[in-house]
Homo-oligomer: A and B are copies of this chain.
């Protein structure tokens, strides 16, 4: 049987229950931005969205202010620049989305898998974030320092770890902190098959009792929970520390402290 409420009424009960913890939440000053990088123009058919909803639900239950963005609702131009409004691509909404990321403590990218890798839309989003990676935060560090990131992946059979490697690396490399187990995914058995949340595939029910594909997968549910909580914990730690500690990681002053250039590479 399916763990979450199958009717709106039941769902409401869940929200009420978990909502009770919100009052004393240690996380209600945190902001999270979730970006769904599905290649579907509208969110309605996105399987990735369903898994993202669950992770967002955990954070909301803890009081986090979650904003859900469907990337293809926006015109995101191609190019390694901050603002491509005048590049002849019919406009550029990225600067507005970037502002939301900069304003948030937590970023979660959701993406499907195609041929074993993340989507074109996810690649585009990462590229545009990269174009801002030389910006600085209030402490003079690169702009994403002090934030934390995770990734959610769905597909019908394979590639979740490869996608997570790619996305989490990109985020860490430009300044995000990656907490433990910051990736969660659902995949079916090898070969074509149902996607997350499908009740039918190829004209047949996915499960005899009508449960959608993946919803009862203990592993996916556990990992999604761990990801949501670990992001909240890390955001809490960083916020309480006033951001990521700032010594030895400033682009301008790293040579003034103990640094690699001054160490003898021959001395083991």
Interface residues of A (CB under 8 A from B): 3-5, 11, 14, 18, 21, 39-41, 43, 49-51, 53-58, 61-62, 68, 72, 78-80, 87-90, 114-121, 123-124, 126-127, 130, 142, 144-145, 157-162, 164-166, 168-170, 172-192, 196-197, 212, 214-222, 224-226, 228-230, 232-234, 236-238, 241, 244-245, 247-249, 251, 254, 257-268
Among A11, A220, A225, residue most surrounded by chain B Cβ atoms (within 10 Å): A225
With A114-B80, A115-B173, A169-B169: A160-B190 Cβ-Cβ less than 8 Å:
yes
Contacts of A115 in B (CB 8 A): 126-127, 130, 161, 169-170, 173-174
With A176-B180, A237-B241: A165-B161 Cβ-Cβ less than 8 Å:
no
CA distance A241 to B55 in the complex (A): 25
Nearest Cβ distance between residue A220 and chain B, in whole angstroms? Answer: 5
Copies, count: 4
With A158-B161, A159-B161, A230-B249: A225-B197 Cβ-Cβ less than 8 Å:
no
CA distance A158 to B158 in the complex (A): 5
CA distance A248 to B178 in the complex (A): 16
CA distance A235 to B127 in the complex (A): 30
CA distance A51 to B159 in the complex (A): 20
CA distance A230 to B57 in the complex (A): 31
CA distance A249 to B230 in the complex (A): 7
Nearest Cβ distance between residue A145 and chain B, in whole angstroms? Answer: 5
Contacts of A248 in B (CB 8 A): 58, 225-226, 228-230, 232-233
Contacts of A89 in B (CB 8 A): 41
Q: Is the CB of A265 within 8 A of B197?
A: yes
Nearest Cβ distance between residue A5 and chain B, in whole angstroms? Answer: 6
Q: Is the CB of B221 within 8 A of A51?
A: no
CA distance A17 to B121 in the complex (A): 45
Nearest Cβ distance between residue A144 and chain B, in whole angstroms? Answer: 7
Q: Is the CB of A267 within 8 A of B236?
A: no
CA distance A245 to B235 in the complex (A): 11
CA distance A260 to B228 in the complex (A): 9
Contacts of A268 in B (CB 8 A): 43, 49, 53, 56, 68
